[in-house]
Structure 1
Amino acid sequence: MTRKKQKTLEEKIEQVKNFRPIDDTFFEVLADDIGVCQEMLRIILEDEKLIVKDVIVQSSERNLYGRSVRLDALCILGNGKKCNVEVQRSNKDHHLKRVRFNASVITVRDSQTDDKFEETIDLIVVHISEFDIFKRGRVIYHVDSVIRETQEKVDDGLERVFVNTTVKDETSISEYMGCFQQKEIDNAKFPKLTNRVHYLKHEEGGVNAVCEIMRKYSDEAYKQGEEAGKEIGQRQANITAIKNMIIRFHATKEVILEDYTESEYNTAIAELQAKAK
């Protein structure tokens, strides 16, 4: 792929301005900060004393899980538990099974073959979505293992928490989730989130971090497109890559035309519009 000249800071700021915390690419950079994750989990898990000791994101060199599991933010807590935070905008998947799969991969990866099962890790999965997954009008759902006959909760070491940005109920969780839909955040109740978003969108170091992760995933998508192009034709592969750039990165026409043709761009737009109807 031929790259154009290095962008100025102003051009980079323009490129990242439409990102919101709910966008997984932006969230990955946003969550690569212990303070942000600690503030977030204290609110969602309703534990003001919760401590986050470390965070591993998908692009981190410390990610030992590979591509087998999506790590938007895997937090290591002060009590020894792990908490995998996932963000999801699209409602075109079986999210309960997605959570189950990711939890299983993390559990197996962090367990030794000779471990006693009582030593299996305790894991919390927090699934943040742009839709009400259970359609029951609640901002947060806790999914537990329950004995059907007695309705007693069973502690098997896995906690599943589903939160959404859709339902508004005047709680702190709802207010915090509302921030995930905003391009700019200025809320004194959530200082870590407010300051981190400002840093990533308006200060050179933060803007560069966002652009770097965008470049990385864009390059990966391009390489995947090249491979797919051998089978389905390069033009169609390029159109698919453009649609991914628009959906995932909110890429502008100007950015896309740096690497693809206007004809490919127009076709991608038409396909996205047809799919939305």
Structure 2
Amino acid sequence: MKKTNFTKSNTKKSDCSKTHSNSTRKKLDALEKKKIIASLTLMDDLFMQVVLEEQACTEYILQTILDKSSLKLMEQRLQKRLPNLHGRALVLDCLCTDEKGLLYNIEVQNSSAGAIPKRARYHAALMDTHTLKKGEKFSKLPESYVIFITDKDVLGEGEQLYQIERVIRKSGNLFKDGSHILYFNTSRQDDNALGKLARDFKEANPKEIQSDVLSHRVSSLKEGKLDREGEKKMNVLLEKYRKKAVEEGMERGENRLALLIGRLLEAGRMDDLKRVSYDEAYREKLLKEFGL
């Protein structure tokens, strides 16, 4: 009988422990989500995709970058997949069309590698390929704008906005093929409309965002003023960020381990090399020893 009571007591303690553990995990999850949400800016491409679901935000960004206050969008598609004839696909962050039929592709790029000139050329080419229908004349191709919003000055000439056009070299006249490429350098924040937009792109606090339409949208997303569908999308977004953080952490860990193995091989420390494969505490000790 005593044995049974002892077992029941242990079971209760175990259940309480699990409940406490689950409660703690939920609190940590909530804190983790809150921390991620608080840090998000428009330069985070995943967050930007959710922000741009409100078309007025896309319109405002295009109006400011292109200095066209009258620009109105007819349609926009986020994460639009464009394949080429060889099976290589390109996923566009935001592809939209205005009232005049002009095409716009907005891309947020935090790395210089993601915004090289040949990528801009490829974006423009695929947009053209998927726009002209069978039998249509080339004259029907709409004007198109590929806009890279970059964290740093990718092209390195100190400009706030780079506007790239094809020109006839000898005369300097525009080739007028209707293809336009722009690089918006958010690292340069002049005292003008573009500078204001650049600051808004890097501001995490919605109350500090100067644009009313962007501030309202970011505030709604960060403060949970969403319908059920919006809440679902934010949860999906947060899960993507969590996975991304885990993958980056694993990648950094693998790089550190690879460097440690190289150092141990160079030093001829074969016994240590064997031990780090199974002894985690010893592995951390050696990582600190080698300053990794």
Are residues 1:20 and 2:31 paired? no
Q: In the alignment, is the contact (CA less than 8 A) between 1:141 and 1:162 conserved in 2?
A: yes
Give a deviation string over 1:2-44, Cα, whole Å, max 9, x none: xx87997665333322111011111111111110011111111
Question: Which residues in structure 2 correspond to 1:1-277 (within 5 Å)?
Answer: 12-58=33-79, 63=80, 65=82, 68-93=89-114, 95-186=116-207, 189-205=210-226, 206=230, 208-215=232-239, 239-240=250-251
Structure 1: runs of 5+ lacking an equivalent: 226-236, 244-262
* Equivalent AA in structure 1 for residue 239 of structure 2: R
Change (3 A) 1:221 1:189: closer
Instruction: Give me the whole-angstrom Cα distance separating, in 2, the residues matched to 1:144 and 1:196.
Output: 33
Structure 2: runs of 5+ lacking an equivalent: 1-24, 255-279
Deviation at 1:190, TM superposition (A): 1.2
Give a deviation string over 1:242-275, Cα, whole Å, max 9, x none: 99xxxxxxxxxxxxxxxxxxx7xx99xx9xxx99
Deviation at 1:113, TM superposition (A): 3.2
Instruction: Give me the whole-angstrom Cα distance separating, in 2, the residues matched to 1:211 and 1:6.
Output: 16
Instruction: Give me the whole-angstrom Cα distance separating, in 1, the residues matched to 2:225 and 2:34.
Output: 9
* Equivalent AA in structure 2 for residue 48 of structure 1: S
Deviation at 1:131, TM superposition (A): 0.8
**Which SS does the other structure have where 1:142 is aligned?**
strand
Give a deviation string over 1:204-229, Cα, whole Å, max 9, x none: 5355423313435877999xx8xxxx
TM-score (norm 1): 0.71
Q: In the alignment, is the contact (CA less than 8 A) between 1:25 and 1:213 conserved in 2?
A: yes
* Equivalent AA in structure 2 for residue 107 of structure 1: D
Richer in helix (by share): 2
* Equivalent AA in structure 2 for residue 57 of structure 1: L
Instruction: Give me the whole-angstrom Cα distance separating, in 2, the residues matched to 1:35 and 1:143.
Output: 26
Give a deviation string over 1:53-99, Cα, whole Å, max 9, x none: 222111xxxx3536822321112111111100001011234621111
Q: In the alignment, is the contact (CA less than 8 A) between 2:200 and 2:210 conserved in 1?
A: no
RMSD, aligned α-carbons: 3.3
Instruction: Give me the whole-angstrom Cα distance separating, in 2, the residues matched to 1:127 and 1:134.
Output: 11
* Equivalent AA in structure 1 for residue 165 of structure 2: D
Change (3 A) 1:177 1:188: closer
* Equivalent AA in structure 2 for residue 239 of structure 1: M
* Equivalent AA in structure 2 for residue 153 of structure 1: L
Deviation at 1:168, TM superposition (A): 2.2
Instruction: Give me the whole-angstrom Cα distance separating, in 2, the residues matched to 1:103 and 1:178.
Output: 27
Instruction: Give me the whole-angstrom Cα distance separating, in 1, the residues matched to 2:43 and 2:140.
Output: 34
Identify the structure with bigger relative contact order (alpha carbons < 8 Å, sequence gap 6+): 1
Greater Cα offset, 114-123 or 143-152: 114-123
